Structure 1
Amino acid sequence: MFEANKCAFRQPDNQFSLQKWQKTIDLMTELFSAPAGFIVQKSDDAYRIIVSSQQQENPYDVGAESSADDNIFCKQVVRDLAPLYVPHVSEDSQWHDSPYIKDGIESYLGVPICWPNGEPFGTFCVMDFEQTHYQPSLIELIKQLRDMVEDDLALLDSFAQMREIAMLDPLTNIYNRRALDLLSQHKLNLAARLGFEVCCLFIDINDFKPLNDNYGHEVGDQALISLADTMKGTLREADIIGRLGGDEFVALLQVNNGDCIDTIMKKLESTFKANLQSQGLPELSLSIGYAALGHRAETFAELLKRADEDMYEKKQASKRV
């Protein structure tokens, strides 16, 4: 059914690895006690296997293709963008002319894989040489495993988009506003799907304009760089940090049980002051606003707005002291 093809799926970004998908497919076939599982990518005229489970009895290797003109399960899954379960292929008249018959395939379960914009990427499927009777829980399981693949596609798509824009702020070498918006929204989407907690810090340098007026923009730029370096050195690698513009900075943090946001904010403030002192720069303070993700449908723009409002309230309160 699938014919060998030397055109392999290429990794378009270092952040993305087919090794993770291979582990997912191997785990799926083990859980289903099935001889074969695949991730199949759709093109205009063919369906190509880009990941194949590693059992010896699996009849189809990576790179094998099937024509889009063939009566194959993957084509129906992609066309309908819906799961397809055929427990007894030889007794279903719809598949009597399918090339699966001659290859001995007797059972198929597959779900569609989509890019973030909803366009079909391909299928995530498992096949067996015998009739099957999968319980609803197994069908739900394959959907959950498929979701992991779609999460990777979303991340891959984000990096592809960022190749088209200037990703970093040229002064501070952290994310600029556009990259920050893109990556942070993706992080919130993952949080909604996987159930982890997220919070946003909105950071503003107090009395930054007088600093520029009194000492010049070169000193002001050094202070901005020092704050960016403070954030990179204080926060975790998995946290997303960026500069909105001027002296406004943002950090999107994945919060674990036991994390103390107050401690993190105090550490940012103290480390920033120490860094300024070590560079011989004037002493500055920070106003830091905080907002936790209130509900799973909240956008990054909404979360950022709440953190900005909290920062403004704290800045005004400090002026009244």
Structure 2
Amino acid sequence: MVDNQACLSRSEQNIIDLNKWQQITDLIAELFGSASGTIVQLRENEFNVVVASQNKDNFLSRNDTWSWDIHSFCRKIIETKQQLTVEHAEMDACWKQSPLVAEGQIRSYCGLPIFWPCGELFGTLCIIDTKETEHSPALIKLLEQFCRLITADLKMLRDYQEIRDLALTDELTGIHNRRGLSFLGEQRIKEARRAKQTIGIVYLDIDHLKRINDRHGHQIGDQCIITLANVLTVNGRESDIIARMGGDEFIIMTSFSDEYDYDHHLEKLSLRILDCYKTAVSEYDTDEITSISYGHRTFNYASMTFLEEMIEETDQLMYRNKNSKR
């Protein structure tokens, strides 16, 4: 799913062409003869300028922000979910005391709400001016059309994200599948090299899953897989990449910035996962269900190879652990 709180102006998404949004705001400023045409996003109780018209007298720029707590025109639109038109701000009882008017340059404003396709508010499309302005009905209709174009772009972004999530998610457990691990893992390696971080990988395998399926049924086997996925999610960090490689094999991929004993941390994490898993499946009352094999490795940013090679090295350590039980 699309994160509605992610800052669109700073995101690395390439689905929405923000250059097209830039052209919209430039055209708005030109048609209205206004100081600023602006598309604003509301996120985390803060308004963020996604794009602003590039005319010389515009006092707003991309990534400018202001707090929700400020008595602002954009906030009024979000609260009412309706168009707001203020033609003479200094003469308007509601706005003449606003810091944006009393202490700032704004003298007129016209804005409309922008919605995500699900109906949630994205933000506003605004015309802001440093002079009193009368906004004609024809130009307001044009703004409404621009809002529909922006919403269509947001729908395209959401549709793409939902399709990608389906392709990268394991159907049984809801965590990432092997494709998801490959997509996110390669990005994580690039980030770690750039930030000079260390990456840790834990590879886990449910022992005797075929025997569990044969003796207790596939429903119990599937429940063991789901249980381990849940245990990994609970015990992993929010930033960790957790994936089911297929069958009974799972991976946690994590990164470290601080200097400390990474291998000791991964060993403690692995043992905690084993303990939590054993507790979770103890109701099935058979020892063979509670057994997991694991292996872990750390990779310094300077010695990282391709993701598949790093996984293969960790997989071998897991099999060494598995073979030691035989």
Q: What TM-score comes out, normalization by structure 2 length?
A: 0.51
- Whether the 8 Å contact between 1:47 and 1:65 is mirrored in structure 2 is no
Alpha-carbon distance in 1 for matches of 2:8, 2:279: 44
> Paired residue for 2:273?
268
- Whether the 8 Å contact between 2:202 and 2:295 is mirrored in structure 1 is yes
Question: C-alpha displacement at 1:290, in angstroms?
Answer: 1.2
Query: Would you say 1:195 and 2:200 are equivalent positions?
Result: no
Alpha-carbon distance in 2 for matches of 1:299, 1:252: 14
Structure 2 unpaired stretches of 5+: 12-16, 27-34, 39-50, 56-156
Alpha-carbon distance in 2 for matches of 1:18, 1:167: 22
Pair 1:20–1:41, CA change in 2 (3 A): closer
Amino acid at match of 1:203: L
Amino acid at match of 1:231: L
> Paired residue for 1:310?
317
> Paired residue for 1:104?
none
> Paired residue for 2:6?
16
- Whether the 8 Å contact between 1:204 and 1:286 is mirrored in structure 2 is yes
Identity rate of aligned residues, in percent? 27
> Paired residue for 1:222?
223
> Paired residue for 2:53?
64
Alpha-carbon distance in 2 for matches of 1:217, 1:316: 25
Alpha-carbon distance in 2 for matches of 1:162, 1:296: 34
> Paired residue for 2:179?
178
Alpha-carbon distance in 1 for matches of 2:163, 2:272: 31
* Superposition pairs of residues 84-123 of structure 1, within 5 angstroms: none
Structure 1 unpaired stretches of 5+: 1-11, 22-39, 50-57, 67-155
Alpha-carbon distance in 2 for matches of 1:316, 1:172: 27
Question: C-alpha displacement at 1:252, in angstroms?
Answer: 0.2
Alpha-carbon distance in 2 for matches of 1:192, 1:161: 29
Question: C-alpha displacement at 1:188, in angstroms?
Answer: 1.0
Offset from partner CA, 1:149-207 (integer Å, 9 cap, x none): xxxxxxx9xx8596275232111111111111111111111101111211111111111
- Whether the 8 Å contact between 1:162 and 1:179 is mirrored in structure 2 is no
- What SS does the corresponding residue of 1:318 show, helix, strand or coil? coil
- Whether the 8 Å contact between 2:206 and 2:249 is mirrored in structure 1 is yes
Amino acid at match of 2:249: E
**RMSD across aligned positions (CA):** 3.4
> Paired residue for 2:291?
285
Amino acid at match of 1:172: T
